[in-house]
Structure 1
Amino acid sequence: MSALVGVLCLALAGTALAQEDLREISAREADDHKVAQIRFVHRGAKRIKGETLRSAMLTQEGKRFQRRFFRNDLSGLVNLYYSKGYRDAEIVRKLLRLDAKNRVHIHIEINSGALWTVRALTLVGGAPFAADTLRAQVGLRAGAPLDYGKVLEGERQLQVFLNQRGYPHAAVRNEWVGDDRASRSTEVVFHINPGRKMYFGAVEVENLDQLYTRKELIERYLHFEQGDLYNPEQLAKSREQLAKTGLFRSVFLLTPETGDSLQPVVVRVKERKRISLSAGAFFSNTEPRVGGVVQHNNWLGRGARLSLNAGWGKPEQGVTASFTERNLLGTGADLVLSAGVTDKWQPTKQQGNPDDQRQVALLTANDSVLNGFLFIPFGGGEATIRQYINTATFNYLAVEHLWKAEATLTKGWREIYQAQVSISGEDSRTRPDPSERIDYAPKPLEPGDEGETSSDETTGADDLFGDSDFDFSGKGNFSAQDEVIDYSDGKIPVTADWLRILTERERSVNLKTEFLRDSRNDPFAPTRGALLRLTGLYAYSFTLGRHQTYVIDGEAAFTYYQPLSRRLVLALALQGGGAASLREGRLLPQKYWSAYGGEGSVRGVEYEAIHVPGGGRLGLNMRGELRYQWNSFGLVGFWDRAQVWRKPSQATWWGMVDGYGVGLRYVLGFPLRLDIAFNDGSLNNEPDEKQWWRRLYQRKQLYFSIGQAF
């Protein structure tokens, strides 16, 4: 007990000493000193929270004290109480004190007084509408607190009610009469003058002969027709829709004075440039590429868009032409027709296939280890060869050459929602890059080892193409190469024979749907909000010389941005998906395989280097960034993590691949991004004797591009 008394005495003594360090000063003396604290003391009940009072002041803690602002703050605090119905509120006392560090402590004592109420609600005018109909719009009743904000809201609701019923010149004002200080109540009176009832008249497009845009296009976005009841909200919606087309630099809908009940509307617009040219570049250790877009935004004055998008460099290059018809048939949906061809480079890992006689012939002729099994008494033979090839993997850089034609219908609503449905036809050819070599990695056989196979395909399927250029049966030289090459060394040159074996030709028809919810405050450099994307695909696919199958593919992606302070933002992203063949015993075509790695998923890892033999069916990608921005300069720390699996039972958190690093940002109208990233080494075969900093240096990747990473 004595110890507790001692602690209390020390606390009181410390408080007394702190109070002695504060000396009272005038507002003039407090000028330009930093504000340490703003404290409110309430006489009677606490009517308004201190946080609300502080937010209503220009004087803020941590900022410099300004005498002229402080005088306005005191008046503003009293007015805030008035607006809540405390018409007798007053500042009883204000005290400014300076501490030993020359910081200002502000003490404000407030007496709110009694709450005033609405004694009666009276409507003056308003014909031809009934008083009860108008009173229902106000939202006030007798006996309610005299809240000035609610009175103004009632006035606004009456104005909107009259405007929507064809009275654009309606005038509404409120008045407080008959103050009774004994009962602390007053009468609220609304004076209502509807004015003349109006209808929309003729629509004129100003300087139409100087515009490239057709009048029919402008009229398509108007939400009213001649003869409709005049409604200012319809004018506002029409202006908003015209502005959203992106065709105009400015849009005005003018309503000149008229002597009758028909209100003419004049549309005044200024057009943007119709043809635009843009270019971009991305550089990293292994992924340099450039691209450009040429676009006509108002083809034939109909608002249609023509564009040509071209890119060059790895990992993806090609050209795509598209045509966009906006606001299709007045539905608000956009139709996009596109066609193009692309080349895409991606690491691929295939399992050895002992059922492919061409593959068996090449391996037995050129792999000295496999060839030796033919001469081992009682230990060789076909069974051993099959076991050996089953364990082998072919890891190589594949090139997908894709022709694609697509039609997409997109509809957005309520600013943040968007739905999309598309149908496309594709013709693709995937084969090893002839300029690279194939990494060949057979697993040494142990006694009793029968090997493993990832193949789930039924053999003997019909050739649905009948394409002789890709019918490899009976073709090719499967003997040893002219140059002595031993595949057991781990490298296989990409010869014509291996091109025939590893080439996959596939055609498909795809139906794709997508739902989007985007509440981000900025699509290019967001600092708050979220983005949700759900995608589903159903495809009919047939692969040359092998099979036909049906494919389903789904993906979900969620990105979230949370400001931690005025300069610090936490950005998080999660993406996952899976694909499967619906025909039992049929392989999934290569273009539906899951793979991660590179700038778009895991920085520090080469492009799509995270994959599995035979193709991943499931994938998961997590990303996080901590972004600090100071004016135009920014600093970012990031961590990316991903993995793919063939089966759900194989999925594990500990087997995932990590990439991490730091980056610089510079905002020049748009963010310029430079990242240096490192991977966790799980994909690298590095000797353990190397020093850690050398291993880390070898894993580095550099990325330079435009915009945030996600």
Structure 2
Amino acid sequence: MRPLLIGAVSLISLTWAGTAQAQTPEQDVAPPKVVPTLDTGSAKIAAPSPPPTEAQLPAVEPIIGDEEFEKSIPPIRAEDDAELDRPLESIAEFEKRMAAEAAESAASGAEDAADASAEAQPPQVDGVPVPALADGDAAEAIGDAPISDSELAAPLPPLENFDVEPVQFAEPEDDSDNVELSYAVQVNGLSDADDSTIVDLADLFGDLSALYDGDGKADNAAMIRARLSADGELMQRILASEGYYDAVVDTRIDRGPREEGQERRRRSTTAVIDVKPGKRYTLADIVIDADPTIPPNLIADNFPLSVGEPIVAQRIQGAEAAIALKLPEEGYPFAKVGQRDILLDGATGDGVYTLPVDIGKRSRFGGIETTGDLAFDAEHVEVLARFKRGDLYDSRMVDDLRQALVATGLFATVAAEPQPTGESAGDDTEYVTMLVTQQAGPPRTLAASAGYSTGQGIRLEGSWTHRNLLPPEGALTFRGVLGTQEQGIGATLRRSNAGRRDRTFELVTEVTRSTYDAFNAITGRVAARVSYDSTPIWQKKFTYAYGVELIATREDDYDFATGERSYDFYTILGLTGQVGMDRTDSLLDPTKGFRVTSLIQPEGSLAGSFSPYARLRTDISGYYPVTDSIVLAGRVRVGSIVGAARERLAPSRRFYAGGGGSVRGFGYQELGPKDPNNDPIGGRSVNEVALEARYRFGNFGVVGFVDAGQVYRSSAPTFQNLRFGAGIGARYYTNFGPMRLDVATPIGRKPGEARVSVYVSIGQAF
């Protein structure tokens, strides 16, 4: 068995060290021999051993006789004998004497050199001094020519006059390393394999290959070799990730015969990768080293690996991630997945997989603590949390809390992490404290938006908000509107997560001036509202809202009795109730599902005797994805006012139709009953229908649409005399929703109606 590359590798090295001695008990041990030595003071030198007495040595004749040797030695003089008897001088005296002799020798040599320099004269030829060579000798004359020959004194001829023959090679040098090259890629051993997995890996290799990414072009041969080397390693990693650990990958560059070109001769180049996948290893055993859990099969039931399947890196990593996610969801916040170990048997192709898991202590939610630069305290964090003290720990609830904190918009950074307490919670569990680390962000915000539509003109809106003026989450917003037909200012005090999660309380006061064909008005409004609404971060399946409002408005209306428009003052007190159901996949750009919203507004006029009535409206929209890029969308609206005649209703409280959010192709509020001046006067009921085909490609989209609708005098819509508009739109998709440009025209256009209407806004029409 050998360790797997993606697992823990365990190697055992054995090192033998020491000496061994063996002795046969029966063997006689000779006593040690004594070696004679010569004493030379501090050192002892072994003396040569004499030959054995019984040895027979051959006779050796002397080279010279003793008499001749004595005669050749010179006699020792008396002074020499005295020198021999003199004691040795010390090293210091020897060095001093040698230095004195060297100084005396140097002084004598300098005097001899000065004398020689004064006497020396350089040699001359024809009265001209001859320069000395490096070795001190005079320069020699070349050949038999004298040094004054005019040939030597003449200047050298120009280089252009030299006829230089280039060296002729048997074959021109291959310059393919320095020019742009075209190459082909050839992978052998994958496409002809019986295993379908191997064939699929060829596509994966093609997507990641540096050679294929180069589109067959390289600056030089060195670049091809570098890409080929990288692709060889890539192929090895791809095969290993699918369990082919014995794969052999060889690379080479094949050059074909030379091809004649207009400028130079080149060779075709092919980068070749030869692959031998070898056997594919499979899991022979799976061992999870962990303490018992509750329930007992928690790990086994959520570990998606089985014996007999191939050892695929992606599958193994996914299985380990599944355990790391599942344990914290089931009460184990401190679970840790250790380092895997897979041992391979090259003979059988089996692998034994071992995974250590530390499950930690099973825990329950305890209290909440906060630290850092606080935007609000721990008490308000408890309002946002969807868990209570004593609930079994669930990491999904922690993620939900973290997202809710982010959704407040009050933090630069925020984190929520469990902390052990050691406090027993019974049932072999303990409490954990949720530690929320806050870093408050800038609380003030400036925002602006712009839009345009035919009939309503340009509309600009801006706002300033302090999101946490009254902690926790007490926001104050000042808003201003400047448009062709509407101008206004207002202030809103908004408390988010008021007393419970996702509940909002609002106080609104505003003053607006409206100039429409249907009516002119100056209106003041004060309202209070409690709502449970969707946001781009928190899209809810069910929503609701209720509130109260007081409206004081001065508006003009056409008086059919007098035949002219006149102003009247209305004071209206009303209640609001709204419920909604949302089953779509997106708040701003839905592609599937449906929505239903119903609104009821019982209200009445306070002028004179109280005259109650009720405004009712229902909107339904649906979305169906035909393909990944085509969506069909439809919308229906039905509205009715019961309990009062049209003339007793303030013009701003009646129903109208037409415009970018209603029936496109017509001006704002253009449909319905009209006065003799052909100005709309509104009605007590409305119905609208719209159908869109939305096609998206990348960040852009095209929409074709048909709208229909009508407003009626009666309190119930009759669905007769519908007016139709058709058009085409463009969409640009951003991270906060699509930007919309629609162009529409009325079908069966009547006098006074525009031929083309244009609408620009953010978000889909519905």
| TM-score relative to the length of structure 1 | 0.59
Q: Alignment partner of 2:472: what SS? A: coil
Task: Please name the residue that 1:393 is paired with.
Answer: none
Q: Give the Cα–Cα distance (whole angstroms) in 2 for the partners of residues 318 and 51 of structure 1.
A: 65
Is 1:552 aligned to residue 616 of structure 2? yes
Question: Given the superposition, is the C-alpha separation of residues 683 and 125 from structure 1 closer, same or farther in structure 2, using an over 3 Å criterion?
Answer: closer
Higher relative contact order structure (alpha carbons within 8 Å, sequence separation ≥ 6): 1
Q: Give the Cα–Cα distance (whole angstroms) in 1 for the partners of residues 522 and 623 of structure 2.
A: 29
Task: Please name the residue that 2:407 is paired with.
Answer: 244
Question: Given the superposition, is the C-alpha separation of residues 247 and 625 from structure 1 closer, same or farther in structure 2, using an over 3 Å criterion?
Answer: same
Amino acid aligned to 1:538: I
Task: Please name the residue that 1:419 is paired with.
Answer: 542
Question: Given the superposition, is the C-alpha separation of residues 424 and 167 from structure 1 closer, same or farther in structure 2, using an over 3 Å criterion?
Answer: closer
Whether the aligned pair in 1 keeps the contact of 2:529 and 2:548 (CA below 8 Å) is no
Amino acid aligned to 1:41: S
Amino acid aligned to 1:580: S
Query: 1:299-337, CA deviations, whole angstroms, 9 ceiling, x for partnerless residues?
Result: 233122222333243544444443333223343433444
Query: 1:313-366, CA deviations, whole angstroms, 9 ceiling, x for partnerless residues?
Result: 35444444433332233434334444545555555xxxxxxxxxxxxxxxxxxx
Amino acid aligned to 1:250: T
Question: Given the superposition, is the C-alpha separation of residues 674 and 141 from structure 1 closer, same or farther in structure 2, using an over 3 Å criterion?
Answer: closer
Q: Give the Cα–Cα distance (whole angstroms) in 1 for the partners of residues 388 and 356 of structure 2.
A: 32
Larger displacement relative to structure 2 (317-326 or 301-310): 317-326
Q: Give the Cα–Cα distance (whole angstroms) in 2 for the partners of residues 637 and 580 of structure 1.
A: 30
Question: Given the superposition, is the C-alpha separation of residues 684 and 129 from structure 1 closer, same or farther in structure 2, using an over 3 Å criterion?
Answer: closer
Q: Give the Cα–Cα distance (whole angstroms) in 2 for the partners of residues 94 and 224 of structure 1.
A: 63
Q: Alignment partner of 1:328: what SS? A: coil
Amino acid aligned to 1:553: R
Amino acid aligned to 1:44: D
Q: Give the Cα–Cα distance (whole angstroms) in 2 for the partners of residues 561 and 106 of structure 1.
A: 46
Instruction: Tell which structure's C-alpha radius of gyration is larger.
Output: 2
Question: Given the superposition, is the C-alpha separation of residues 628 and 506 from structure 1 closer, same or farther in structure 2, using an over 3 Å criterion?
Answer: same
Task: Please name the residue that 1:578 is paired with.
Answer: 638
Q: Give the Cα–Cα distance (whole angstroms) in 2 for the partners of residues 575 and 588 of structure 1.
A: 31
Whether the aligned pair in 2 keeps the contact of 1:401 and 1:429 (CA below 8 Å) is yes
Q: Give the Cα–Cα distance (whole angstroms) in 2 for the partners of residues 149 and 637 of structure 1.
A: 41
Is 1:509 aligned to residue 632 of structure 2? no
Amino acid aligned to 2:596: L
- Displacement, 1:297? 0.5
Task: Please name the residue that 2:690 is paired with.
Answer: 621
Identity %: 18
Question: Given the superposition, is the C-alpha separation of residues 195 and 708 from structure 1 closer, same or farther in structure 2, using an over 3 Å criterion?
Answer: closer
Whether the aligned pair in 1 keeps the contact of 2:545 and 2:578 (CA below 8 Å) is yes
Q: Alignment partner of 2:324: what SS? A: helix
Task: Please name the residue that 1:41 is paired with.
Answer: 191
Q: Give the Cα–Cα distance (whole angstroms) in 2 for the partners of residues 619 and 542 of structure 1.
A: 26
Whether the aligned pair in 1 keeps the contact of 2:209 and 2:234 (CA below 8 Å) is no
Is 1:535 aligned to residue 705 of structure 2? no
Q: Give the Cα–Cα distance (whole angstroms) in 2 for the partners of residues 552 and 518 of structure 1.
A: 24
Q: Give the Cα–Cα distance (whole angstroms) in 2 for the partners of residues 304 and 58 of structure 1.
A: 56
Q: Give the Cα–Cα distance (whole angstroms) in 2 for the partners of residues 74 and 679 of structure 1.
A: 62
Q: Give the Cα–Cα distance (whole angstroms) in 2 for the partners of residues 111 and 162 of structure 1.
A: 41
Query: 1:142-166, CA deviations, whole angstroms, 9 ceiling, x for partnerless residues?
Result: 3344343333233234434554544
Q: Give the Cα–Cα distance (whole angstroms) in 2 for the partners of residues 207 and 30 of structure 1.
A: 60
Q: Give the Cα–Cα distance (whole angstroms) in 2 for the partners of residues 51 and 595 of structure 1.
A: 63
Match of 2:321 among 156, 168, 180: 156
Task: Please name the residue that 1:373 is paired with.
Answer: none
* Contiguous gaps of at least 5 residues in structure 2: 1-175, 219-223, 262-267, 424-429, 675-682
Is 1:606 aligned to residue 674 of structure 2? no
- Displacement, 1:248? 0.6
Question: Given the superposition, is the C-alpha separation of residues 537 and 137 from structure 1 closer, same or farther in structure 2, using an over 3 Å criterion?
Answer: same
Question: Given the superposition, is the C-alpha separation of residues 637 and 242 from structure 1 closer, same or farther in structure 2, using an over 3 Å criterion?
Answer: closer
Q: Give the Cα–Cα distance (whole angstroms) in 1 for the partners of residues 760 and 514 of structure 2.
A: 20
Question: Given the superposition, is the C-alpha separation of residues 707 and 411 from structure 1 closer, same or farther in structure 2, using an over 3 Å criterion?
Answer: closer
Amino acid aligned to 2:600: Y
Question: Given the superposition, is the C-alpha separation of residues 239 and 642 from structure 1 closer, same or farther in structure 2, using an over 3 Å criterion?
Answer: same
Is 1:409 aligned to residue 531 of structure 2? yes
Larger displacement relative to structure 2 (290-299 or 56-65): 56-65
Question: Given the superposition, is the C-alpha separation of residues 191 and 641 from structure 1 closer, same or farther in structure 2, using an over 3 Å criterion?
Answer: same
Question: Given the superposition, is the C-alpha separation of residues 531 and 28 from structure 1 closer, same or farther in structure 2, using an over 3 Å criterion?
Answer: farther
Q: Give the Cα–Cα distance (whole angstroms) in 2 for the partners of residues 96 and 599 of structure 1.
A: 66
* Contiguous gaps of at least 5 residues in structure 1: 1-25, 348-395, 441-477, 480-491, 687-694
Q: Alignment partner of 1:246: what SS? A: coil
Q: Give the Cα–Cα distance (whole angstroms) in 2 for the partners of residues 34 and 318 of structure 1.
A: 70
- Displacement, 1:578? 0.6
Q: Give the Cα–Cα distance (whole angstroms) in 2 for the partners of residues 307 and 301 of structure 1.
A: 15
| Mapping 1:104-115, distance limit 5 Å | none
Amino acid aligned to 2:442: K
Q: Give the Cα–Cα distance (whole angstroms) in 2 for the partners of residues 625 and 97 of structure 1.
A: 54
Q: Give the Cα–Cα distance (whole angstroms) in 2 for the partners of residues 595 and 61 of structure 1.
A: 62
What do you get for the CA RMSD once the two structures are aligned?
5.7
Q: Give the Cα–Cα distance (whole angstroms) in 2 for the partners of residues 55 and 27 of structure 1.
A: 25
Task: Please name the residue that 1:279 is paired with.
Answer: 448
Q: Give the Cα–Cα distance (whole angstroms) in 1 for the partners of residues 323 and 742 of structure 2.
A: 60
Whether the aligned pair in 2 keeps the contact of 1:423 and 1:509 (CA below 8 Å) is yes
> What number of residue pairs does the alignment pair up?
550
| Mapping 1:458-473, distance limit 5 Å | none
- Displacement, 1:677? 3.8
